[in-house]
Structure formats: C-alpha cells, structure tokens
Chain A
Amino acid sequence: MPNDVTHSQAGTTLEKADVTKSVTPGGRTEAAAAAVRIDDVAVRFRSKKRDVTALTDVSLDIASGEFVAIVGPSGCGKSTLLKLVAGLLGPSAGEVRLGDERVSGPRHDIGYVFQRAALLEWRSALRNILLQAEIRKLPAAESRARAGELIRMTGLEGFEEALPHELSGGMQQRVALCRALLHRPPVLLMDEPFGALDALTREQMNVELRRIWQETGTTVILVTHSISEAVYLADRVVVMSARPGTVSEIIDAGLPAERGYSETMARPEFGTATTRIRELLGAASAAD
C-alpha cells in the first residue's frame, strides 16, 4: 500500500488516549486496577453426544492500556476466551470482569475485530465505520470527525467511498479496525485479525497496529497463530495449552517500547521469547 508511510505523523497529533491512565514507555500501566480480570474460568459446551471442555482454570489479569497476545494450538479456546470477555458467551464456571463490572451479557464498551473483516458489502468504507456510531446513536458530526481521524491514522484516505469488494484484504481489515475504534473503547479485542493476509501486508499491519495502540492507549487482547506477531506486538504473551485450554505460561519478552520491525526481530530477547513459545507449543502444533 503506497500511502502507508505518510500518515504516521498525522496520527500522533490527532489521537488522544481514551483511558485515564497514562501509558508508560513499556506500554504497561503502573496502576493496579485491571482492565480485564479473568478469574478461574471454565467453559464447557454441551452437545447431545458428549461434553466438550473448551477452557478450564483460566485466570488472567490484564492491566489498563496493556497489550496482551494469546497464542496456542488450534482449538485451544483462544477465541472462546475473547468471546467471554466480550460477553458474547457466558462461562460455565468462574467470572470475567471488565473494569469493575462483572460481564453478564454482550459488552458495549469494547471494540471487536474478527479474522474476516465482516464488513457490510453494500456500505462504503466510511459508512461501514460509521455503522458503529449509527447503532449507538452517537452524535453524527462528532462521529464523522472521529472516523476521519481513524481513516487518516490507518491510511485509508481516498478510499472512504470505496465498497468493501473494491478494497484489498489489508484495507478491509483497516476498515474493520477503524469501526472497532470509533467509539473509543477502553478494550479492543482482536481475533486473528491478520490471519487471512499475506505475509508482507501482515508485517505492515503489525507495525501499524503497534503504532495505533501507542496512540490510543487502548487495552488490547490479540488472539493470533503467529508467534512472532505475538512477541513483536504484545507486552505479554499468554501461551495456552491444547484442549481443554488453559494458560501454560505467560511470557514477557522485555522488548523496548519503540519497536522497529527488523530491529526487534534481530534482538536476542525476541529470539529467546519466540523459541520459548515454540517449545511450549510443541514443534507440531503451531507453524509460525
């Protein structure tokens, strides 16, 4: 995408953090209050023939403004965990808290991005982003301005009126990201958002997501199959075991806040962390 490079300065000046706490260079907040608290959660799916335990004994605290990535083998319940946080699914045991509220139904104070962009085909990029505002009945003028900011931040300028099928996969995912951020959610949940993109676009999106996260100060939980993506982006990487899914280890690579893509890849901490995660997942279960 040719115009990705130009908008980075614009974004920094426009975007302001929505959360009250300031983000330290490490990206981690000093405050003790957790943005998301997952407490001893289990999820069992009942079907006629058998019960399937998707998640068991999962506990995780995520600080406000933190970027957490979740990796694990396919079917380990990573996406289920995100749905729990969003309140799209209820836990069979334990509880999930968002801020200081217990999650007991679909949460409206989050942004959600799926692997497929899930855009409305009949709406232009801009109107897809504004769907968030329309449904929430947010003031129109403000929402348009906010959408404009996000469009600049994600490099979608000039594509506002394009229909989804006229956009590349990466661009569609940018639109989905803008839509998820329109209402300034304190928590952004991303379920393999770059899984369908080619390797090069994916790297580009990683760099952008990291920048956008730093600009917005949103708490991010990212589910991914890519170990390097997880380590590059996140403050902490939660490694999950196969079904029934549980947290096997939480890894903090200790990378600096400013992360140039190739420099970060070349750092010894990066190598140590990815190797450790690969060991945890077992050679067969997750190809990077």
Chain B
Amino acid sequence: MSQSAVSTAPVKPAGVAERARPSLRRRTVEAAEKSWRPVALLLACFVAWWVISAAELVESYLVPSPGATLDVLLDKPDYLWQHSWVTTYETLLGFVIAVVVGVVAAVVMVYSSTVEKTLYPILLFAQVVPKIAIAPLFVVWLGFGITPKILIAVLIAFFPIVISMVTGLKAVDPEMLQLSATMGASPWQTFLKIRFPASLPHLFSGLKVAVTLAVTGAVVGEFVGANEGLGYVILQANGNLDTPMLFAGLLVMSLIGVILFVIVEIAEQLLLPWHASRRDGSVTTSY
C-alpha cells in the first residue's frame, strides 16, 4: 500500500527517474511501516514467555525463563559461535550446490523433454523419500564429517529450486518467444535475453524456501551423527536436560534461517529491482 505511489504511471517525464529510486529515508520509513506488526507480535510472544516462566506456571526445567536463556547466550558465546559457524557453513555450501545443480537441471529439463521425462520421476522420488530417514545412510557412507550434512542440505534445498526454475522458464510469454523468432534470435540469445531473466522472479521465490530448508537439512544431518554444529549442541543439551542451552540453540538456529532468508531477499531486490518495485509491499513472498 505504501508503495502504490511508486508504481503509478508517470505523469511527467521528469518524474520517472526519481520515482524509480525513492530516497533512503523514505525507504527506511516504508520498511518500518511494513515491519512493525511482526515485531510487535514477537515482542508479545516474548512477554508471554517471560510472564509464564516468572509466574512459574510451568516447571523451569521444561520451559526456562528468558533470563536463563539469555544467560547461556552471554556465558558461552564462543561455544555457540563455533557451532553456529559449522551449521552456517554446511547450510551455505549445501545451498550453493543446490542452486547450481538445480538451475542447470531445470534448464536442461526445459530444453529437452526427453531429459524431463527421464529426470522428473526420479526427482519426485528423491523428494518423496524422507530426508531424515536417509540421513543415517549418508553418515554410514560418508562418515561423521560435514559431507553428509552438506549432502542432506543439498537434497532438501534442491527440489524447490528446480521446480521454481522450471516454472519460471516455462512461464515466459509465448508472444515474446514468437517475437524473438521474427527477430531471428538464436536459441542462446533467446535464453540469455528473454527466458533466463524472465525466470528469475520465480527462481528467487524458490530460493527463499530453499535457504530455510537448507538450515533444516544441515541440522538433521547433525542430529544423526556429529560432534559439532547446532544440531549436536541441541542433542547434547537435550541429553543433559539443559533446557536453557536447548532454547539458546533453537534461537540461534532460527536466527541463522532468518538472516539467510533476508540476505536472499536483499539479493532479489538488488538484482531484480524491476520486480521488487512492482510487487506490493509485503515482506514475505507474494506467491
């Protein structure tokens, strides 16, 4: 709503350039307008949590107080930082590999129906198999290092990327393709100048899903067998009934997911300003 002023058709030629890039201050105000509701809700949840634990409605070994959780975060920052870094590293590597493999697979599938018919059922099968169930197998095969975690992150993030990219590549305006035929465009030119850029908004909606899933993938890998990473931290805390540490681990894990999501969203806005400015101003995906 607050962006509707940005997307109206320009009346005066001079206005076009300025309207395309609102000032930093204006953008900050808009961001604040967009985000105050979720922030308020989060604060409300936090207060509820604090009230529940302060009034001792629930035993403290079941739900630790916010203070106890914060103490853990402050007391053992090195410990948490070290394990967070491992999980982040696994997540990022898995995500990047999934993007490369996913995009290439999507392009090949869109351009060759033979490949699509061959690959698609296998992809679907790979998606249907519960990743949590095959995680132990990867550990058996690949050991306790980071490789099985990365592989699970790849597997779990791969599917939304392929699906969104295939959808994007297929969603290109058929008239645009006819037009490029009358221009004498080579398949490569059509791909580079029309199909690929047109598919990017779809791809990014898949990337946002994939990046949060990649965190889950890495943690699942750590649950099955690891001696480092946030999954390991949570498992250890669970074994010791150390709920404050468990909560701290969960918080950090969510934080990693949110930060990665926001990074993808910022990348989208930088790479596809034409798309971002078109969309109505909701923070989450508008699909």
Q: Tell whether A and B belong to one assembly.
A: yes
- Residues on A lying within 8 angstroms of B by beta carbon are 3, 83, 86-88, 106-108, 110-112, 114, 116, 118, 120-122, 131-132, 134-136, 157-159, 161-163, 165-168, 171
**Chain A residues positioned under 8 Å from B278 (CB to CB):** 121, 165
**Chain A residues positioned under 8 Å from B10 (CB to CB):** 159, 162, 166-167
User: Does B130 have its Cβ within 8 Å of any Cβ on chain A?
Assistant: no
Nearest A residue to B13, CB-CB: A158
Q: A116-B175, A118-B175 are in contact. Are A136 and B16 (CB under 8 A)?
A: no
Fill in one digit per residue for B264-275: 1 if any A CB lies within 8 Å of its CB, else 0: 000000001011
Fill in one digit per residue for B83-98: 1 if any A CB lies within 8 Å of its CB, else 0: 0000000000000000
**Chain A residues positioned under 8 Å from B16 (CB to CB):** 158-159, 161-162, 166
Nearest B residue to A109, CB-CB: B182
Contact B183 A108 (CB under 8 A): yes
CA separation between A1 and B7, bound complex, in Å? 18
User: Does B48 have its Cβ within 8 Å of any Cβ on chain A?
Assistant: no
Q: A118-B173, A163-B274 are in contact. Are A135 and B198 (CB under 8 A)?
A: no
**Chain B residues positioned under 8 Å from A122 (CB to CB):** 197, 272, 274-275
Supply 14 A–B pairs (Cβ within 8 Å), ascending by A.
A86-B182, A106-B184, A108-B182, A110-B182, A114-B175, A121-B278, A135-B183, A135-B184, A135-B189, A135-B193, A136-B183, A158-B14, A163-B274, A166-B20
9 tightest A-B contacts by CB? A158-B13, A106-B181, A108-B184, A135-B183, A122-B274, A118-B175, A162-B16, A135-B185, A168-B9
**Chain A residues positioned under 8 Å from B175 (CB to CB):** 114, 116, 118
Residue A159 contacts which of B13, B193, B272 (CB distance < 8 angstroms)?
B13
Contact A135 B180 (CB under 8 A): yes
Residue A118 contacts which of B14, B179, B181 (CB distance < 8 angstroms)?
B179
Question: Chain A nearest CB: distance from B269 CB in Å?
Answer: 13
Question: Chain A nearest CB: distance from B217 CB in Å?
Answer: 32
Q: A122-B197, A166-B10 are in contact. Are A106 and B20 (CB under 8 A)?
A: no
Known: A122-B197, A161-B17. 13 other contacts (CB 8 A): A106-B181, A118-B173, A118-B176, A120-B176, A121-B198, A135-B184, A136-B184, A159-B13, A161-B16, A165-B274, A166-B7, A167-B10, A171-B9
CA separation between A163 and B194, bound complex, in Å? 16
Contact A166 B178 (CB under 8 A): no
User: Does B27 have its Cβ within 8 Å of any Cβ on chain A?
Assistant: no
Question: Chain A nearest CB: distance from B197 CB in Å?
Answer: 5
Nearest A residue to B178, CB-CB: A88
CA separation between A116 and B19, bound complex, in Å? 25
Fill in one digit per residue for B15-57: 1 if any A CB lies within 8 Å of its CB, else 0: 0110110000000000000000000000000000000000000
CA separation between A111 and B179, bound complex, in Å? 9
Contact B9 A112 (CB under 8 A): no
CA separation between A191 and B278, bound complex, in Å? 27
CA separation between A59 and B254, bound complex, in Å? 69
Most A Cβ at <10 Å: residue of B7, B183, B189, B197: B183
Question: Chain A nearest CB: distance from B282 CB in Å?
Answer: 17
CA separation between A7 and B197, bound complex, in Å? 34
**Chain B residues positioned under 8 Å from A158 (CB to CB):** 12-14, 16
Question: Chain A nearest CB: distance from B273 CB in Å?
Answer: 8
Nearest A residue to B11, CB-CB: A2
CA separation between A110 and B180, bound complex, in Å? 12
